[in-house]
Chains A and B, each alone.
Chain A
Amino acid sequence: MNSQKHLLIIDDDPDFVAGIRSILESANYLVDVAYNPKDGFEALQSKPYDMLLLDIMMGRGAEGVMVARKMRKDPKLRELPVLIITGIREQIAFLFPGGPVHPRFVEVDELVEKPVEPKLLLERVSALLQSAQAKKASPA
């Protein structure tokens, strides 16, 4: 089989990152972490990754959304699969009590909410990687 998949996590919560990182590493993924959107975007531009795991609420506010939008404008990064893992619903629950997060407001491939089950996380990651590979193999 081909080599290890290289993932990048952009998330500012060190506890959460430590958790999902160990889950992903035990599933034999190579994981890099950036703790703020700026470092994260620089990392994306400097190295080719197979997938990005992105948080929403970072730095000044909903900056994960901005990262996702910036990536869509970049021809090199447009193809990269993005999985948003967010606790936004809890974080600003006072604004939208019970309101759903709408993936259609940000263009990403998939969105899961924190806290995320390890099994679900691995499932989503491998599914996204596979579909990205399939897309690459047969460009529509």
Chain B
Amino acid sequence: MAERLSFSDEVSNLLYAAHGNPLTTCIQCGTCSGTCPVVPYMDHTPRRLIGMITAGLKEEVMASNTYWSCASCYHCNVRCPQGIDIAELMYALKRLSIWRAQHKEGLIGPVFSETFVKTIFKSGRSYEPVLATSYLFTFGVQEFLQEAQTATSLMLKGRLPVLPPRIKRLDNFGRMLRRIIPMGDAK
């Protein structure tokens, strides 16, 4: 019987189609962590997360909020001297944590992505007023009011749709999606 796959191999299998170099080439220089604009919100920096993956600390990695905090600015990718696709790694971990239902409780990221995909599936377009409610209530009163104020002025200027937008020929779109994900009712 062959050896069990390590966590680091599991992650590299998730990344098999990414263009970057393998995580094992990381030299732990910390450029990614120094570059990342959202490090203050992460419980482990990207450098540390890569180190933890290589060390096989699966539970700690899956329980961290690092990959859900990632803003996908791709600055780490640009500056990584080893050419590792760090932003794609964060996406891979997001996928993995949703598939295995292992992410931390109370994060905005998973709920936000799920709501986003749901609205796209339903109407073919994203609809901000619905999207915003997925995270708005986690804010404090002041931020909440500020957001509401911004939304109102955006709406008055016609920059935010009042009614949810719908694309034409939604049926075709639905069929297309079901070619990709073979689920739901057969129509």
Contacts and interface: CB of A to CB of B under 8 A. Distances in A.
B184 A59 contact: no
A38 B16 contact: yes
A16 to B, nearest CB: 10
* B interface bracket (residues with beta carbon within 8 Å of A): 20 to 34
**Residue from B99, B101, B180 having most chain A Cβ neighbours under 10 A:** B99
A39 B99 CA distance: 21
B10 interface: yes
A105 B179 contact: yes
B17 A99 contact: no
A80 B149 CA distance: 60
B4 A18 contact: yes
Contacts of B183: 88-89, 92, 95-96, 99-102, 105
Interface in A6-52: 12-14, 17-18, 21-22, 25, 33, 35-39
A61 B95 contact: yes
Contact of B118 (A18, A62, A90, A95): A95
Given A96-B184, A99-B185, A102-B183, A36 B13 contact: yes
Contact of A105 (B13, B16, B118, B182): B182
B141 interface: no
A106 interface: yes
A65 B17 contact: no
A103 B186 CA distance: 10
Contacts of B121: 95
A92 B183 CA distance: 10
B99 A57 contact: yes
B186 A14 contact: no
A38 B5 contact: no
Interface string B92-103: 000100111100
Nearest to B182: A105
A35 B11 CA distance: 10
A99 B180 CA distance: 15
B178 to A, nearest CB: 6
B1 A25 contact: yes
A136 interface: no
A58 B95 CA distance: 9
A62 B180 contact: yes
B114 interface: yes
A60 B13 contact: no
A103 B99 contact: no
Contacts of B99: 57, 87, 91
A100 B181 CA distance: 12
Interface of A: 12-14, 17-18, 21-22, 25, 33, 35-39, 56-62, 65, 87-92, 94-96, 99-106
23 contacts: A18-B4, A22-B1, A38-B16, A38-B17, A39-B16, A61-B181, A62-B181, A88-B183, A90-B101, A91-B99, A95-B114, A95-B121, A95-B181, A95-B183, A99-B184, A100-B184, A100-B185, A102-B178, A102-B182, A102-B186, A104-B186, A105-B179, A105-B182
